Amino acid sequence: MQKLTLISHHLCPYVQRAAIVLAEKDIPFERVYVDLSAKPDWFTTISPLGKVPLLVIRRDDGNEAVIFESAVICEYIDEALSGPRLHPTDPLDRAGHRAWMEFGSAVLGDVWGLETARDEAGYLAKAAALAAKFARVEAALDEGPFFSGDAFSLVDAVFAPVFRYFDVFDTLSDSHVFDGLPKVGAWRRSLASRASVKNAVGVDYAERLLEFLDRHDAFLVRETGAVQRSAA
């Protein structure tokens, strides 16, 4: 059996995608964390973009292959390894899911802008951009509980880490990103209760994210003083 190692970072949402997919397919793997602020030489040698995740695959003959980019990793896991298929079998439906995975990456770009905004204007601009994107998601959602119905898919694995951010953000301030979006809200709750989603991060995820916000002098945490209160 191939040995799989997921090269990770504690907060990276793209790593979480791969961890969720591996868990959904019940595939054992080892997890190795790297400090992206002080990347070790072995990591830069095997990571062409200097990013996580990486999936290191040790074959039966001892040789290793390295896959980078989260969407590629997730599709490889789904196509090549055992367990339930998480992509639709119909080519047109599959293309649609791939498009929404890309949309999820665009959403993450706005989340990054929201969490690193240092003033109210920047924060509100990113919150508005996210609200507009999730309004499009609301229109695309099926009856649930997942993106396209009863079956968990790669699109769900992409969006679950997005919602996890807001589980922490909401303890600081209501961004109102999900106001008037009942389907998105129900989807968010369904994903949050999924074991694969819960276990994709460590128990200290929220603490680490709050520390990240504090280090980056984020408007979100500076205005609430939450880190200082939690340490008191």
For 42-122, where are the E strands, in sequence order?
54-58, 64-68
Extract the tokens encoding 100.
């929404």
Of 6, 7, 12, 177, the active-site residue reads: 12
Q: Based on the residue annotation, tell me whether 74 is a catalytic residue of this protein.
A: no
- Would you call the peptide bond into 161 cis, given omega within 30 degrees of 0 as the criterion? no
Structure tokens at 224: 């609430």
Structure tokens at 137: 């998601």
Tokens at 189, concatenated:
């709750």
Query: At 195, is the secondary structure helix, strand, or coil?
Result: helix
- Helical pair 120-140 and 182-192, crossing angle rounded to 10 deg: 90
So which residues are the catalytic ones?
12
